[in-house]
Chains A and B, each alone.
Chain A
Amino acid sequence: MFAPPKLPVPSTPFPDESLEGFIARSCNANGWDRPNQVLEILGHGKSQGLWSNRLSDEHAPMLAKQFGCKPEQLVGRFHRPVVVPETEVVFELFCGSPIRLNAREKTIRRISPAALRAADYHRAPWQFQPFKYCAETGEKLLGACPECDKNLGWRKTYGVGFCEHCVEDGYALVDLRTVERPRLPDADLSVYRAVAALLSKPADRSDIFPRYFQSWPAWELLDLILTLGVMLVRCHDPGSLTKRSYIYSTFAWHANFMAAIKFAISWPDSATVLVDDVLRVRASQDTGWSYGRMRKLGPFFNPEYYAGTPRIAFEIKSAVDRALPLTEEEQQRRWWRGGFRPSIRNGI
């Protein structure tokens, strides 16, 4: 009987480990530095792009045999598209929760040195682009080598905690685990952890979120926070691109994300403060061609353009309308426009 080739040193994934991190760690334990090459040798074909893209749930039994773990330990780690009803926005499964398709960092390996010092494996939430800090340690995630300044990736790895560019004679010279990174203040860390738990432990939702959202699934609440954050970034910088992956990488993202978390914690009462802030910011801006309510609210005028589900769009719109009631003229105009502006760009 044909026995598929397998790696001599077996590895078992940690509960919150990413698939890429697990395969890279397992390959490194066996002395292989290119996961792509290993997957090809193990009979999973080869691809020009990201090696993790060719793996799906159906590969779990074979991969489990080859890497020395159980198939059920791998199944939840594959990123497959998921259909969310009543929306055209594309979602994929990540840690068992739906997230926007472009919210996962696919190419850059981001790590928290302090977390790696505690346990040397790549945590899945580090791949979630909106998270710039590690929820475990509060440390800012590191995506580039401090010595050579090159991005850390997945094509070649010498273990998750080493720079693959600073190499001599087959050994990595820069141990990233020794790097000290800036940390979140303690006050921010507790709320940050609560939001991160919406992704990694959706069943254990923190008490800091209002009972108002009790009927909402954790992923939708997270998407509401992200939507508010994106809208705040766009509100402060109307000239910025609307692509989410771009917005997540902007310098202003984290501050606006933290502001969005604080608004969500005291939602819907916080909508008044939010609208006041928006009006103040918009008053000092060159708002271009827009006029009327759109001129006043900017991105908050049409939340359906940013929201992942109709419920989120409705929630933001109704909260804004309560905080800033429509004038008679605006009511007429909304009636004329049907009160709805369809999204023309999915995933944005």
Chain B
Amino acid sequence: MKTPRILSPDAIANLMREFRKIALHTTAMKQIHRALDIARAEARESLVERKQWIDYPPALRPKMPPLPLVVAFGPSGTGKDTIIAEYLKNVRESEQWPSGKQLVVSFELSVDATRKALHGDFLEGTEDPHPGVGTDPSLSRRVRMQAANLDTELSICNETQHVVGSDSQTRNKGVADALKKFLNHNTSALSLFGTNNADRIFDANNEFVQRSFKRYDLIGARAGVPEERREFMELLQLFAMKLPEYGVVESAKILTDPAIIGTIFTQCKGRYGTVGRLLKNAARVALMEGSYSLLPYHLWLAVSGSKMLFEDDPVNYFSEFNECR
């Protein structure tokens, strides 16, 4: 029997970072990435005209067709963050932006966001020295000027559900209107990511929903759809292969066991993001225990220790493995 390996907290944290490298390019992810690329191409076409008229008030500019909107909503754990992270990673790896340009701006909407907060969040994405300073019109102008001068083609707004966190319908309307103007005034193409609650932003402005060029409802893998089941298994196989490769654990063979796959599927409701989080927690437990292999027992402990992940169904489906050490 091997001596348990003892790792410092820093060493464990370093190994946990390897999880960022593991992502399965699912069909939904590929489709969304393609839609984002199309939206960018359309924004790129209007860029020259956009820059030419940027100094003029909207009423004096020639009317240009609105830029596209890509929407991807789905419950927590369906892989929205991974889709964004993978897209940005691909963009960074495959494109060489001119110096001083930011073709894709990614930002997270603040909780209880107002129109002003939306502009401030975008400016945080462009690393403006003081995103909060300014009145509504001046912030809106700053967003437009920076987007045009940074040649921004696409703005990715994550956590869109934060806009409907408040009770005020007026506020929702304000933000929906600001987002609509974002597209109508050709600031950049827009992509909204958020939980299903974010859908209510479209109730606030009927015209805004018409700008939507592609909409994706992310739900994860469904048991009744063989392709999605296969994709789910591929994800676990990927983890089984990559975790030893990156030196996180020496073996993660359990992830190819049909019984474990089924239990993970039930536990995570087929959501890819939740699977990643569960396995990360399980690997952390394994490393803290000094284990060389990922065991079902670690999965049980991980679920027990992170109930927040499964608050809609708090049952621990790995209970039968609690003694399998």
Contact = CB atoms under 8 A, between A and B. Distances in A.
Interface of A: 5-10, 28-33, 37-38, 41-42, 68, 158-159, 161-162, 168-173, 175
B140 interface: yes
B224 interface: no
A9 B133 contact: no
Contacts of B322: none
Nearest to A43: B129
Given A9-B145, A68-B100, A170-B140, 7 more contacts: A8-B127, A9-B100, A9-B149, A10-B100, A31-B142, A161-B55, A171-B57
Given A7-B129, A30-B145, A159 B137 contact: no
Interface string B129-145: 11001010110111111
B137 A169 contact: yes
26 contacts: A5-B129, A5-B130, A7-B128, A8-B102, A8-B126, A8-B127, A8-B128, A9-B149, A30-B128, A30-B142, A30-B145, A30-B146, A31-B138, A31-B143, A31-B145, A38-B129, A41-B129, A158-B55, A168-B57, A170-B135, A170-B137, A170-B140, A170-B141, A171-B55, A171-B141, A175-B56
A32 B142 contact: yes
Nearest to A29: B149
Contact of A162 (B55, B127, B143): B55
Interface of B: 55-58, 60, 99-100, 102, 126-130, 133, 135, 137-138, 140-146, 149-150
A37 B128 CA distance: 13
Query: Majority SS of interface residues in chain A?
Result: loop
A161 B54 CA distance: 13
Contacts of A9: 100, 145-146, 149-150
Contacts of B150: 8-9
A57 to B, nearest CB: 23
A187 B63 CA distance: 45
Given A9-B150, A30-B145, A41-B129, A169 B57 contact: yes
Contacts of B58: 171
Nearest to B57: A171
A162 B150 CA distance: 21
Contact of B145 (A5, A29, A173): A29
B144 to A, nearest CB: 7
Contacts of B140: 170
B263 to A, nearest CB: 48
B71 to A, nearest CB: 26
A175 B55 CA distance: 9
Given A37-B133, A162-B55, A31 B144 contact: yes
A28 B129 contact: no
A68 B145 CA distance: 17
A6 B143 CA distance: 16
Nearest to A171: B57
Contacts of A10: 99-100
A187 B226 CA distance: 86
Nearest to B143: A31
Contacts of A37: 133
A172 B102 CA distance: 26
A6 B129 contact: yes
Contacts of B130: 5, 41
B141 to A, nearest CB: 4
B57 to A, nearest CB: 3
A29 B146 CA distance: 7
A162 B142 CA distance: 16
A175 B138 CA distance: 18
A239 B128 CA distance: 55
A33 B138 contact: yes
Contacts of B141: 31, 33, 170-171
Given A32-B142, A41-B133, A173 B100 contact: no
Contacts of B60: 173
Contacts of A175: 55-56
Closest 3 CB pairs of A and B: A31-B142, A170-B137, A31-B145
Contacts of B55: 28, 158-159, 161-162, 171-172, 175
A161 B312 CA distance: 59
A60 to B, nearest CB: 19
A33 B140 CA distance: 12
Contacts of B57: 168-169, 171-173
Contact of B56 (A5, A33, A171): A171
Contacts of A161: 55
A305 B18 CA distance: 79
Nearest to B129: A5
Contacts of B143: 31
A8 B56 contact: no
Given A169-B137, A170-B140, A30 B56 contact: no
Contacts of B146: 8-9, 30-31
Among A30, A42, A159, A173, the most chain B Cβ lie within 10 Å of the Cβ of: A30
Contacts of B138: 31, 33, 170
Nearest to A37: B133
Contacts of B133: 37, 41
B137 to A, nearest CB: 3
Among A8, A31, A68, A159, the most chain B Cβ lie within 10 Å of the Cβ of: A31
Contacts of B137: 169-171
Contacts of B99: 10
Nearest to B130: A41
Contacts of A6: 127, 129
Contacts of B127: 6, 8
A5 to B, nearest CB: 4
A117 to B, nearest CB: 13
Contacts of A168: 57
Contacts of A33: 138, 141
